[in-house]
Structure 1
Amino acid sequence: MPHDDFEIEPVKGLPERPPEGEEILWQGRPSTFALARESLNLYWVIGYFGLLAVWRFVTVVDLMPIGQALAATLPLIVLGAVVCGLLYLVALIQARSTVYTITTSRVAMRIGAALTLTLNLPYRELGTAALDLRKDGTGTIALDTNGNTKLSYLVIWPHARPWHFGSTQPALRCIPDAERVADILAEAAEARINVPQVVRATPLDAMAAE
């Protein structure tokens, strides 16, 4: 029988229903191809095996007919295709198991293929957000937690800003229509931070105020 590991979620991508007054503004997941390209360096792997195949062909074409030279190159091409296929499969699994959520109060990230965890990042604990936009419209939004949340780069990879090992920044990686999502995030964070906080005064506070 088919089994959904996330069927017990009360709301997709969230471990529990949002509290009253909190609204979900956007949900999404990484683009599989963009994730394979950027986090798994798919293009670099293609280029590496392409150079190996060309080098192999050039070194043997003077020693045998062209048909045999191509046959001698074929194993490298097949090996490269297998490796690229495996990388794409890893990206597919990562993308399918991921749900990014932007609400009026926080950013939530359900991540992890083998070990699933959910990160809840309230806007008041975030600093800046950096958008890395690609020509195809996909992009990565990195979130600076100002040191309020300690995260392991290896634990949350690939959902982290690349090459920031010392101060790990969680990131919405390779999402489609990233510029629009960044606008939604910016508006929600600004609205949340500017909401006045009402604090009930204790008797001691009232005496001090007098």
Structure 2
Amino acid sequence: MKQDPSQLHELSSPLPEGERVIWQGKPTFKGLAVRSFHIREAGIYVGLFLAWKLWSYWSNGMATSDMVGSTVALLVPCLGGMALLALLAWLFRRATTYTITSKRVLLQFGVALPMSMTIPLSKIANVDLRTNGDGSGDIPLQLADTKRVSYVLLWPHIRPWRLRAPEPMLNSVPEAASVAAKLAEALAGQPGPSAQSLVQVANSGLSKDPLGNPSAPVAA
């Protein structure tokens, strides 16, 4: 399905003649909130902390009214912290646009200071895919040259914990398998190492080409 040109996010500069947009999208709010800002873990921590405080109040014989008042006083800043994480996830999603063209991958991001990173398809050595239950997923891009990739500046559009060889990543994109297939199709027509690119489906333990080629086991 072709994307309506009127719905495309404005690029920093017009595309050269002959280059076309293959896909454009944003991270999902849920993906950023849960997997980048860890709002679920924060909620679990808050719940355990409040349960411990209630048990502590009760074991020390505190009156019920005092227990409720003290718990509410703790609950308000805790919920405020979780709301801040949700707000950050919303802001990061709003400021981010991923674009795949027939020649490159473009990452536009930055809440306070808009930035962008252009990755020629010919510089992509390999592409990985990790899908989630809702169909969204992460698509890290292994580059032939990572000297100019900053882990700090790119976060959260970067593969976690790959500090020595940072990998830019399309974070929590919707319908990730379909997006990975489009990217692999674009890579197939490029010279260099990207022509050999496979998409690794991490949650199945297989290396899978989204264009439909036979699967092969991933080395441990």
Structures share a fold, TM > 0.5? yes
Within 5 Å, give how 1:40-119 maps onto structure 2. 40-62=37-59, 63-119=61-117
- Aligned residue number for residue 17 of structure 1: 14
Q: Which amino acid aligns with 1:93?
A: L
- Aligned residue number for residue 34 of structure 2: 37
After TM superposition, the structure 1 stretch with the greater mean CA deviation from structure 2, 152-161 or 75-84, is: 75-84
Contact 2:146–2:165 (CA under 8 A) maintained in structure 1 = no
Specify every segment of 5 or more residues in structure 1 that has no aligned partner in the other structure, as ranges: 1-10, 195-210
Give structure 1 regions of 4+ aligned residues with deviation exceeding 4 angstroms: none
How many residues were matched structurally?
184
TM-score normalised by structure 1 residue count: 0.82
Q: 1:122 and 2:120 equivalent?
A: yes
Helix, strand or coil: the match of 2:158?
coil
Among 156, 159, 163, the residue aligned to 1:158: 156
Q: Which amino acid aligns with 1:85?
A: A
TM-score normalised by structure 2 residue count: 0.79
- Aligned residue number for residue 139 of structure 1: 137
Helix, strand or coil: the match of 1:18?
coil
Within 5 Å, give how 1:171-210 maps onto structure 2. 171-193=169-191
CA 13–107 in structure 1, closer or farther in 2 if over 3 Å, else same: farther
1: distance between equivalents of 2:46 and 2:171?
26
Shift of 1:104: 1.0
Higher strand share: 2
Shift of 1:138: 1.4
1: distance between equivalents of 2:127 and 2:17?
26
CA RMSD in angstroms comes to: 1.6
Shift of 1:76: 2.4
Contact 2:146–2:167 (CA under 8 A) maintained in structure 1 = no
Contact 1:13–1:99 (CA under 8 A) maintained in structure 2 = no
